[in-house]
Structure 1
């Protein structure tokens, strides 16, 4: 079986390497995105043909690439563009999307963010045959994955990427042996989560308790360099934090320096967050180091 991989993310590297080791990978298609070298370099290092597909002419360049590599199946891991419907059935077995979240409840391009943000305990690698409806195709493989309490967006992506090798193996074996079954997705359970932006990545000190804020911080690390907060008009991003002691009777968003090494912020429901690492235009700092910018106990983060 000839397999083509369409991916522009480091999340595709484990599958790339496994397919190459099985000598079934006919080519890698990458998009003209800033981080595509993460997967292009290892592909070229092991002699895999790479074709860059331009966003401005994606449909035409994708069609030309398919004609060139003649795959029996195309695997997709992290493609922000919609595949033209007329191309979906050109390979014998079609296109299959490797989705890092349970479908249909975590549809959309950023399921990792929303799983962490919602404090899910278990995720699910879902591989589905692609059709004209985004993330709505019938499911071929489901594999559960535990979401650890300390998982950031980046860590969870890496663990899903490793698990995707097992998922792709099951998919290809099922196709080769004729035992693969496709499960239609339940229309009543469909949820499409948009890419987070604006208020979704800002900390609401009065409306969120410490565990909710900690989850948001982890969900924004590293792709957004943390969750956004403003202090006296100064914009920072909290990169790492932990829900910790209670601070009863203190207005949400109030800072409290316990020592040179510890700083807390009061949150909703009388909870408190310890700030460990922050990012600002000036660089990365430990949480307590914000005191260098004239911040003191009793100062309050700006309301959302």
Structure 2
């Protein structure tokens, strides 16, 4: 089949690479316009654009998919299907109607759970034990189209949003290629989503990432891991913001919620259940470092606590 692939971040690159390596022909790639990124805030193409250009594939960067010039070029390309992974823009009916087999999205949840921008993060933060990836036909409603295929993946005790998303991106790329194969063969069935099991996964805000120590150690641990690496879990000590990396749930309860306990080799923080042993910590203007090293540069009173 002739494919036009749509995607933008690193998460979408494994799917593009898998499609390029498949029997299908990727005739063009659609991605978001070049944007500022990195510490220097320099303007750079998206990871998907970089990967496509390395393969000599035409790259389209419309401000929106509703642009007339983009629509005209899409019609000229005459794709049989348009697979999508984390493109980042809403598709309207005019664009959806161009490919023969429509637009097919790889989404990182088991739909209809966690429709939206942050399914992996929200799944971890909600305490889910299992997540996965779904391939579905795109309709104008958010992530609501009929499902063509699903895989499941266990959420490991040390998974962050970053590690889990990376794993799903690679496993999901095989699912997407398999869906393209079966669409071409005409032997795949689409199943409507169950509307009574829908949940939503809005993009995480900075406030979502503020650690709430007045919760159980399990919930705080999941909040921190769900916000790692982005937007990054954080808390406040005095007037200073402190970034918190993944921690370890201990078996002991020695501190009230938010209270900091410092020893030679570790830093503990209380929750409503057991303590958390901090991993890496980053103060404003400092590098990320082990919590014990961070604590050595500070003086803690007996009532020192994160807020």
TM-score by length of structure 1 reads 0.91
Whether 1:258 aligns to 2:263 is yes
Change (3 A) 1:301 1:74: farther
Change (3 A) 1:68 1:285: farther
Deviation at 1:64, TM superposition (A): 3.8
Q: 2:224 aligns with which of 217, 220, 236?
A: 217
1:39-118 matches, within 5 Å, as 39-54=48-63, 57-60=64-67, 62-118=70-126
Equivalent-residue separation in structure 1 for 2:303 and 2:192 (angstroms): 54
Question: Which runs of 5 or more structure 2 residues have no equivalent in the other structure?
Answer: 38-44
Deviation at 1:236, TM superposition (A): 1.1
1:150 matched residue in structure 2? 158
Change (3 A) 1:24 1:232: same
1:190-269 matches, within 5 Å, as 190-206=198-214, 208-224=215-231, 226-248=232-254, 250-259=255-264, 261-269=265-273
1:5 matched residue in structure 2? 5
Equivalent-residue separation in structure 2 for 1:192 and 1:99 (angstroms): 13
1:179 matched residue in structure 2? 187
Deviation at 1:201, TM superposition (A): 1.4
Equivalent-residue separation in structure 2 for 1:58 and 1:175 (angstroms): 24
Deviation at 1:156, TM superposition (A): 0.9
Deviation at 1:65, TM superposition (A): 4.1
Change (3 A) 1:287 1:299: farther
Q: Is 1:256–1:297's contact at 8 Å kept on the other side of the alignment?
A: no
Q: Is 2:3–2:83's contact at 8 Å kept on the other side of the alignment?
A: yes
Deviation at 1:79, TM superposition (A): 2.4
Deviation at 1:243, TM superposition (A): 0.8
Whether 1:27 aligns to 2:39 is no
Deviation at 1:30, TM superposition (A): 1.0
Equivalent-residue separation in structure 2 for 1:234 and 1:162 (angstroms): 38
Change (3 A) 1:62 1:83: farther
The 10-residue stretch of structure 1 (14-23 or 124-133) with the greater mean CA deviation from structure 2: 14-23
Equivalent-residue separation in structure 2 for 1:38 and 1:167 (angstroms): 21
1:145 aligns to what SS in structure 2? strand
Q: Is 1:15–1:161's contact at 8 Å kept on the other side of the alignment?
A: yes
Equivalent-residue separation in structure 1 for 2:283 and 2:154 (angstroms): 32
Q: Is 2:14–2:169's contact at 8 Å kept on the other side of the alignment?
A: yes
The 10-residue stretch of structure 1 (215-224 or 278-287) with the greater mean CA deviation from structure 2: 278-287
1:240 aligns to what SS in structure 2? coil
Q: Cα deviations across residues 61-120 of structure 1 (Å, max 9, x unaligned)?
A: 542441343211111111222101222121000011110001112111100101111222
2:278 aligns to what SS in structure 1? strand
Q: Is 1:255–1:297's contact at 8 Å kept on the other side of the alignment?
A: no
Deviation at 1:200, TM superposition (A): 2.2
Q: Is 1:107–1:193's contact at 8 Å kept on the other side of the alignment?
A: yes
Q: 1:124 aligns with which of 126, 129, 132?
A: 132
Deviation at 1:149, TM superposition (A): 1.3
Change (3 A) 1:46 1:190: same
Aligned residue pairs total 296
Q: Is 2:65–2:95's contact at 8 Å kept on the other side of the alignment?
A: no
1:15 matched residue in structure 2? 15
